Amino acid sequence: MWFSCDTGGTFTDLVVEDEGGWRSYKAPTVASDPVRGVLDALTLAAQDRELSLAELLGRGEVFVHATTHAINAVLTGNTARTALITTLGHPDILLLREGGRPDPFDFQTPYPAPYIPRALVFEAAERIDADGAVHRPLNEAGVIDLLARLKAEAVEAVAVCLLWSIVNPAHELRIGELLEAHLPGVPFTLSHQLNPAPREFRRASAAAIDASLKPMMTQYLGSLTERLHAAGFGGRVLVVTSQGGVMDAAEVARAPIHVVNSGPSMAPVAGRAYAKLETDAPEGGDIVIADTGGTTFDVSVVRAGRIPLTRELWIGAPILGHLTGFPSVDVRSVGAGGGSLARVDNGGVLHVGPQSAGARPGPACYGRGGTAPTFTDAALALGYLDPDFFLGGAMVLDAPAATRALKTVADALGLTVEETATSIVELATETMTQAIIDITVKQGIDPASTVLIGGGGAAGMNLVFIARRLGCAKVMVPETGATLSAAGALISDLTTDRRATGYMTTRAFDASRANTLIEGLEAECRMFAGAAGAGAKQVTYSYTAEARYTDQAWEIEVELPGARFQTEADVAAFIQAFHTEHERLYAFADPDSAVEIVGWRVAVACRLREPDPSRLAMKAARGEPARPRRIVLPSGEACIATVHDWAALPQDQMMQGPAIVESPFTTVVVDEARFMRTASGSLVIDL
């Protein structure tokens, strides 16, 4: 038996696989104790099988966990007291950043504070040159004195980022040895080991974030493992990473920056798997995955079967937040979800999000004390939700409370409650649509030519409206759509990668040096596959390079045509692959320019189980067919929608909207489009 759990801002999602297939569960997230929410979801699964929690967990082999604990800690400043050690003369790397501002004409927004305050940045007397030569030896006595100051400052973690340590790491490694000797028990991060990138700010930022998370994430993952074991689980605990794979919990505790974008990275993994199950979803097609939770709307893409990675992962607002500088699945998030709050500003303008009602108190209709209207309250007022069938009837929604909350905004706008509700849905739809346009157009994708896949409990309420706004012809909501990230985690691979800096140009390409770098990285990946990945059904290696045209400022990641450069033809094939990728991203290529390679990367994926999702064990949730009900579309048009039980829909039989398709965990609103349930159990809507 396998368990996969995704802790979100509002609900904790759980997917359990046993001999009967997959089953999904949802429990409210407990912000003060996220592990409690995990155990609550597992308790629901145990009750469903008429087992005790200990009996259920005793049958478990693997527990896969996706968590927002790390990113929430950074956003709230609830991280360890961390110091940064830099090269003498370079203490302001986190303050100087990379320049720029979101709005070049905005001179009122204050400059962002550095991730580590200047008072906790310390300089080590040393210097490595760009060619790896020692310009100034490390003053070890000075470092020992510095460490005594760190102890006096009650520092809880240390990040080390020295100039050109990616070329010659000797000084960083020696400082690491001194830290172990003079500050035993204080975790530290060496930048060249974590993020061997030539850009100092990104390397320093990654090291600082990683070090600051180590005490908290070690405690959290240790608590999770201990409480699972205490409750009866004796299997392996894996954690979802930002790179779209999983790692052992102990490995994550040693480098917690891997899980900063943990949960959202699994949605494209699941979306790709479900798209492959449909015969009309070509392998080379582009897929957009829209995951709507209670707090955020997360968008990602799959391009020709490949999930793109990015180094532009900001924690908080772009430019003004904190840049991880670390590879992550490219997911764009906006503050628009089921719990997004609606308000009217002093100018009489309606806003939806980014503030959220969260799990407590939640939307007004939850009856937990919330008084401000949310997207969910608007959907209830428009007839999209059945107040007696929320979470399959486990929660009864308070429709009068939703109306009262909406009336506060309606009075401020001078509209009726129904008009206000349609405005809230329409505004949220536009916000979500723009997020999709942003991520697709910037990757050379026409959103109208994509298949739109919906996930998250709130996705179905306006997914069709988003698709019409984009011009998409097909929409798909998988059976496990309400728990899409948890489903992705259940089929994800055990992964890791190794990276190195190795500058060269194609005008004077050094194939021997390139192959040596690749072989070294591959050897480390093979060691991982033989240890953590032992017993995998399949092991796959991928090889990429970070490259750019001569004198360009930024690199793009290009897949290598082969694992080695054996002949001139291999080099020519790589150059052509770079031109093709550059043209796809930026609509032009420069074949006359040389290509500069900055970094090399080898990744390994160990497949622990079959890659295709199992069918969800669904049964009719209602005792009798639901009666048609009146719904109001965002245009203001009212219509009577037929209500269908998802589990009772006939397979491969095309049906006509307007309609509502309900399951215990999600509701899909269909306008006049046609829809059917496919052999994979997914709901496919043709627009």
Res 595: pLDDT: 96
Confidence of residue 600 (pLDDT cuts 50, 70, 90): very high
| Average pLDDT estimate for 555-560 | 92
570 and 641 co-located in one domain = no
In 3D, which of 554, 593, 591, 560 has the Cα closest to residue 574? Answer: 560
Res 641: pLDDT: 95
Res 30: pLDDT: 84
Residue 70 or 527, more confident: 527
661 and 593 co-located in one domain = no
99 and 196 co-located in one domain = yes
Res 623: pLDDT: 64
Tell me whether residue 474 is in a domain. no
Res 61: pLDDT: 94
Q: Is 70 exceeded by the pLDDT of residue 446?
A: yes
Asked if 530 and 539 count as a contact pair (C-beta separation under 8 A), the reply is no
**Structural domain count of the chain:** 3
| Least confident range of 258-267, 573-582, 597-606 | 258-267
Q: Is 60 exceeded by the pLDDT of residue 156?
A: yes
Q: How far is Cα 664 from Cα 439, in angstroms, rounded to an integer? A: 31
Tell me whether residue 296 is in a domain. no
* Structure-block tokens of residue 319: 């430019």
Q: Is 90 exceeded by the pLDDT of residue 117?
A: yes
Tell me whether residue 594 is in a domain. yes
* Structure-block tokens of residue 314: 């900001």
Task: Give counts: helices (H), strands (E), the chain.
Answer: 17, 34
Q: What is the domain extent for residue 662? A: 629-686
Tell me whether residue 591 is in a domain. yes
Tell me whether residue 95 is in a domain. yes
Res 517: pLDDT: 96
Q: What is the secondary structure of 428-463 as a DSSP string?
A: HHHHHHHHHHHHHHTTT--GGGSEEEEESTTGGGTH
| Least confident range of 39-53, 95-109, 133-147 | 95-109
559 and 678 co-located in one domain = no
Tell me whether residue 615 is in a domain. no
* Tens digits of residue pLDDT in 392-421: 777 899 999 999 999 999 999 999 999 999
Asked if 186 and 157 count as a contact pair (C-beta separation under 8 A), the reply is yes
603 and 682 co-located in one domain = no
514 and 562 co-located in one domain = yes
Domain end call among 188, 216, 244 = 216
The 3-class SS string of 547-563 reads EEECCCCCCEEEECCCC
Domain end call among 216, 243, 265 = 216
Domain end call among 216, 244, 260 = 216
Token pair 């074991």 is found at 229
90 and 195 co-located in one domain = yes
Tell me whether residue 540 is in a domain. yes
| Average pLDDT estimate for 626-641 | 92
| Average pLDDT estimate for 266-287 | 78
Contacts of residue 101, Cβ cutoff 8 Å, sequence gap at least 6: 109, 319, 320
193 and 79 co-located in one domain = yes
Confidence of residue 613 (pLDDT cuts 50, 70, 90): confident
What are the residues facing 87 on neighbouring strands?
124
Confidence of residue 237 (pLDDT cuts 50, 70, 90): very high
Q: How far is Cα 440 from Cα 287, in angstroms, rounded to an integer? A: 10
CA dist 20 → 16, 483, 614, 615, 616 (Å): 10, 18, 9, 9, 9
CA dist 403 → 374, 378, 398, 410, 418 (Å): 11, 8, 9, 10, 9
Q: Cβ–Cβ contacts within 10 Å for residue 415, how many?
A: 16
| Average pLDDT estimate for 231-255 | 93
Q: Is 90 exceeded by the pLDDT of residue 71?
A: no
Q: Is 60 exceeded by the pLDDT of residue 47?
A: yes
pLDDT exceeding 90 applies to what percent of the chain?
A: 67
558 and 593 co-located in one domain = yes
663 and 598 co-located in one domain = no
Q: What is the CATH number of the domain that holds 591?
A: 3.30.1490
194 and 156 co-located in one domain = yes
pLDDT exceeding 70 applies to what percent of the chain?
A: 98
